[in-house]
Homo-oligomer: A and B are copies of this chain.
Amino acid sequence: MAALQKSIDKRNSLIKATIGLVNNNGFHATPMSKIAKMAKVSPATIYLYFENKQDLVNQTYIEVKAAYTNYAFATYHKNMSVEQGFEIIWKRIADFKLKDSENAMFLAQCDNTPMIDETSRQEGIKHLEPLLELWNRGIEEGIIKPISEYLLYAYAINPLSFLMMSAQRSAFTLDTTHIEEAYVAAWNSIRVIK
């Protein structure tokens, strides 16, 4: 195998191990030694790919966040109507959180703890631009309530994280009916009701 590919594989397996262990134990309860063991690598090798533990988790965060937003916006185009655009993006996000719940859980933990550097967090937010643009367009067209983007996000998108966490932790199982109901609730919370 080409040396470059081997390097990429090793880095990927380190990132994957980090996600798995942090999900189960939290940042500070996952030692580098365990990450190394899970990735089948020596602890010292991690430091060839990452500066230190903080750098490893920052890079993991940015990478997972990029994969998430790529997936979310993959089928969206700027010439769609606001309703269409919102439904498509919302359902892609739901899809990601259901199917790729390992990654989704990791993002949720990062977004709710002081685990990630502030700069890396900012970097992650940047990727959400298309959604903010869509909302602004919706507000201009009188379709979406003229409220802060924080409120829009809180009611339209974030509840999906909560649902995913509930499904992970309790006996609650998220099926397609729930997703449709959740979509209706999301849309009703942010649209202008006449």
Instruction: Tell me whether A26 is interfacial, beta carbon within 8 Å.
Output: yes
Stretch touching chain B among A88-96, A106-114, A135-143: A106-114
Q: Is residue A25 within 8 Å, beta carbon to beta carbon, of the partner chain? A: yes
A48 CB within 8 Å of chain B: no
Does A182 have its Cβ within 8 Å of any Cβ on chain B? Answer: yes
- Tell me whether A73 is interfacial, beta carbon within 8 Å: no
Q: What 10 pairs across the A-B complex have the smallest Cβ distances?
A: A28-B28, A189-B189, A112-B112, A154-B159, A185-B189, A154-B162, A158-B162, A155-B185, A150-B166, A147-B181
Q: What's the Cα separation between A166 and B155 when bound, in Å?
A: 13
Are B181's CB and A154's CB within 8 A?
Answer: no
Count of chain A residues with a beta carbon within 8 Å of a chain B beta carbon? 41
Q: Is A163 located at the chain interface by the 8 A CB criterion?
A: yes
Separation of A186 and B112 alpha carbons in the complex (Å): 21
| Supplied contacts A150-B172, A185-B190, 16 more A-B pairs, CB within 8 Å | A25-B114, A26-B115, A28-B28, A28-B29, A121-B169, A145-B185, A148-B178, A150-B170, A151-B181, A153-B162, A154-B163, A154-B166, A155-B189, A158-B159, A188-B193, A189-B189
The residues in A between 1 and 49 inclusive whose CB is less than 8 angstroms from any CB of B are: 24-29
